Amino acid sequence: MLNIALAQLNYTVGDFSANTTAIISHMRRAAAASADIAVFSELAICGYYPGDLLEDSSFLARCDAALDEIIRTSAELPELVTVVGTARRNNGPGKPLHNSLLAIRNGQIIAEYYKQLLPTYGIFDEYRHFEPGPQTACTLSVREHRVGFMICEDGWNQPGLDYKVNPFDALKQATPELVISINASPSDIGKRKKRHSTISKACQETQLPILFVNQTGGQDQLVFDGASFAVTPDQGVVFEASQFEEDFQCIGFDAGAFMKDGLPLLASALVDLPVEEFTRRQILLGLRDYARRCGFSKVVVGSSGGIDSALTLALAAQALGAENVIAITMPSVWSSEGSVSDSVDLCKNLGIRLHTHPVADLVKQFSTGFEHSFDTPLRGLPLENLQARIRGTILMEYSNSFGALLLTTGNKSEISVGYCTLYGDTNGGLGLIGDLYKTEVYALSRHINQQAGRELIPEPIISKPPSAELAPDQKDTDSLPPYEVQDEILKWHLEGDRMPPAEAKAARNHVQGLQTSEEGRQLVARILAMVARNEYKRRQAPPLIRVRSRAFGSGRQMPLAAKY
């Protein structure tokens, strides 16, 4: 029987010391558990994804030095085969590097494989730095078991529609008993189910059992959920590691079957997390790692008394602890009494310290200065935006003074159509809910209350009509259609078939229903035009934690100066 140690770890891009320490620690742990193979994920040594750091010679030198340390350690564990991902130089024509898988044993690299399929869609841009590997299989005999290898995207070209090459074709001819796939597969709604479906189909078509090893943790906008798994042709998925956390598991393999503690692993019903719980965990992990990697222990949020800032505060408190979250309420002459009292109740429920910094006098001073300088009063939209920009300045003052990361509170519905103020409520270092539509903001808020068994987010915040409170009696519906209508248009337009099938169908049917009337067609056209003309705002907005299949940022690249 082949004993395999699966190391599902949380790596940091460029932190070679920490990454190498973690890899070596788990190599020793695998050897102590009598494992024959220890498997780590794609680009584990340097972290995924380094971007243009791969063009930095010192970065590559440190990557080489880290690999050398791992190779030296392997000599101390002569029976263990370590399978790990890293960047390797390309000695032939083409791009300067390969995205590589190395098999290391007893101080030697005994097998080397280069990723053949380099994704350039969505959030990926691997062909920018890497040259595809040759169209050959890589196999290795370990304790009389022939093991084949591949890297992430190599296993996703079923049935060969996206690339001219299908690495499984060569792999089948090499007749391995088992395929080990190392991955850096980011998480989004529906992704786990898609992984299971895609890899299971490949497994059935090739009759090759597959072990899919993923990483976990947050890196910039991306969150990796782990959830490594094993799949066999006859049974489908028979094993899955933890979601959203590091994990170390030893499983056996013999005669086409995976085993645990000497017993065959059998197919079992794998249930997806409810979408709200998935979203909560995704955001919490993303915030924790973003703050930690960027050197922040505290965050600050502008508390308006509305649902967006309330949810942001609740998530921040869960991720970092209430003692590390600061809220600031900044009432103006248009702020309702409820906006302040709701902020007080919210922060009391969450155990968060709330500061008050009124802005009415500052707004008046700016307005007076504007009129004196330009001989015209400041009113309408410029006056509304002034209030938001003063608040944004105050929040940045606090961030600069006390070293707290400012979290922006915009949601995807508002960011999509530009219902936000540049240098105002868009200020910040990270957006927690920027990939959640407004209807999802409400659903996640209710979920958090249900999970807590009490009102962490006060019901008046959830039930009151949303308002920016920058003008008298202002409501979001003064400028936008109801979010239940707008969100379906946005899903259809921005994500389409990238969504899970049921969600994509619902959005498509909703828009088709609208387009049966002239009023509906005009509404759809208006929303799409608003999305198009506000790209410049999104380009300047903070990064946001990706939750859905197509998030603003690297996942949707649109021109600024274009007519469409």
- Would residue 518 show up in a list of annotated catalytic residues for this protein? no
Which residues are CB-neighbours of 79 under 8 A, at least 6 positions away?
31, 36, 105, 106
Q: Residue 303 annotated as binding?
A: yes
Of 149, 133, 131, the C-alpha closest to 141 is 149
- Cα angle at 59 between 58 and 62, to 5 degrees? 85
CB 315 within 8 A of CB 280: yes
Q: Residue 328 annotated as binding?
A: no
Catalytic pick among 46, 63, 115, 420: 115
- Would residue 138 show up in a list of annotated catalytic residues for this protein? no
CB 27 within 8 A of CB 77: yes
- Residue 256: alpha-carbon gap to chain centroid: 34
Q: How far apart are the first and last CA of the chain?
A: 60
Q: Residue 307 annotated as binding?
A: yes
Q: Which residue has the tokens 């010679």?
A: 57
Q: Rounded distance, CA 208 to CA 25, Å?
A: 30
Q: Rounded distance, CA 35 to CA 252, Å?
A: 9
Q: Residue 309 annotated as binding?
A: yes
Give the DSSP per-residue string, 185-203. -B--TTHHHHHHHHHHHHH
Q: Rounded distance, CA 207 to CA 4, Å?
A: 20
Q: Rounded distance, CA 459 to CA 468, Å?
A: 18
User: Cis (ω within 30 of 0) for the bond into 472?
Assistant: no
Q: Rounded distance, CA 553 to CA 221, Å?
A: 8
Q: Residue 304 annotated as binding?
A: yes
Q: Residue 218 annotated as binding?
A: no
Q: Residue 286 annotated as binding?
A: no
CB 462 within 8 A of CB 443: no
Distances (CA, A) of 482 to 44, 465, 476, 477: 45, 10, 8, 6
Residue 444 phi/psi, 5-degree rounding, is -70, -35
CB 553 within 8 A of CB 221: yes
Rg of the chain over all Cα atoms, to the nearest angstrom: 26
User: What letter would DSSP give residue 537?
Assistant: H
Give the DSSP per-residue string, 442-494. HHHHHHHHHHHTS-SS-HHHHHSPP---SSTT--GGGTS--HHHHHHHHHHHH
Catalytic pick among 42, 469, 495, 535: 42
Q: Rounded distance, CA 398 to CA 517, Å?
A: 50
Q: Residue 185 annotated as binding?
A: yes
Residue 235 phi/psi, 5-degree rounding, is -115, -15
Q: Residue 520 annotated as binding?
A: no
Q: Residue 414 annotated as binding?
A: yes
Q: What is the 3-state secondary structure of 348-361? A: HHHCCEEEECCCHH
Q: Rounded distance, CA 250 to CA 258, Å?
A: 10
Q: Residue 121 annotated as binding?
A: yes
User: What letter would DSSP give residue 55?
Assistant: G
Catalytic pick among 46, 63, 138, 152: 152
User: Tokens representing 150?
Assistant: 């591949």
- Would residue 484 show up in a list of annotated catalytic residues for this protein? no
Cα atoms found within 13 Å of the Cα of residue 386, Cβ hemisphere only: 23
| Surface-to-core class of residue 105, CB atoms within 10 Å of its CB (0-12 exposed, 13-18 middle, 19+ buried) | buried
**Would you list which residues are annotated within the binding site for deamido-NAD(+)?**
385, 414, 537
Active-site residue list: 42, 115, 152
**Would you list which residues are annotated within the binding site for ATP?**
302-309, 409
**Would you list which residues are annotated within the binding site?**
121, 185, 191, 302-309, 385, 409, 414, 537
**Would you list which residues are annotated within the binding site for L-glutamine?**
121, 185, 191
